[in-house]
Amino acid sequence: MPLPDFDLETGLIKKGYKAIAGVDEVGRGCIAGPVTAAAVILNPQKIPSGLNDSKKVNFKNREKIFQSIQDTCTFCVAHSSVEEIDQINILQASLLSMKRAILGLNIKPDFVLIDGNKSPEGLESKSETIIKGDSKSLSIAAASIVAKVTRDRFMSRLDKEFPGYDWSQNAGYPTKLHKSAIINIGITPYHRRSFKPVYNILYQENN
């Protein structure tokens, strides 16, 4: 599989854009925890090595790359809460977390590259959506790593507060152990009640 590159960004730089942000989110398929987005503006002179779609990078390397991004890049991480996910649906919550990450950058980007096929509404910057962008653009790959590392750390902290669901390992995804823990232990404030595995258990309990 080809690795992501800086070609999209280079093309935009040639057109006069200076601050180009890559944006990605993680946690859409989880049944617990927030959805987390990151926006990253890479320094073209100091691009961290090893950047790739976060799902294709192992834990140790993700942590190492995240440290390099912290040292050399401008970035912002933002979340949409479980309550927001249940109220406005996961797609809208994902877009909201992306928008928060973009607006939270301390440098206003003049172009934004967004993973997926939908862009948050009302962005002041010009933007382009890129399907599977985290495997095409280094800026989006960087955002995917920042979002994943940040969210995984958050879920590991929650695992200590709510033991038994294996969140430090599954990050809130609906593994067999996680689903059986919901049945045996119950539902926490961090479970997404609008998601089927959780909703069905709640529905059964209420009946």
The domain spanning residue 150 has which CATH number? 3.30.420.10
Which runs of consecutive H residues, i.e. helices, occur in 15-136? Answer: 59-72, 82-88, 90-103
User: pLDDT tens across 129-141, in order?
Assistant: 999 999 999 999 9
**Could you tell me the residue range of the domain that residue 74 belongs to?**
7-206
Q: At residue 161, what are phi and psi to the nearest 5 degrees?
A: -75, -35
Q: How many helices (H) and strands (E) does the chain have?
A: 8, 5
Does residue 13 form part of some domain? yes
37 SS3 class? strand
For 9-33, write each residue's pLDDT tens digit: 999 999 999 999 999 999 999 999 9
> Over the stretch 149-198, which tens digit does the pLDDT of each residue have?
999 999 999 999 999 999 999 999 999 999 999 999 999 999 999 998 89
Model pTM score: 0.95
11 within domain boundaries: yes
The total of structural domains in the chain comes to: 1
Percentage of residues in the chain having pLDDT higher than 70: 98
Would you place residue 206 in the very low, low, confident or very high pLDDT band (cuts 50, 70, 90)? low
Q: Is residue 1 part of a domain?
A: no
C-alpha span between 183 and 202 (Å, rounded): 10
pLDDT confidence bin for 1, thresholds 50/70/90: low
Residue 2 is assigned to a structural domain of this protein: no
Q: How far is CA 56 from the centre of its chain?
A: 14
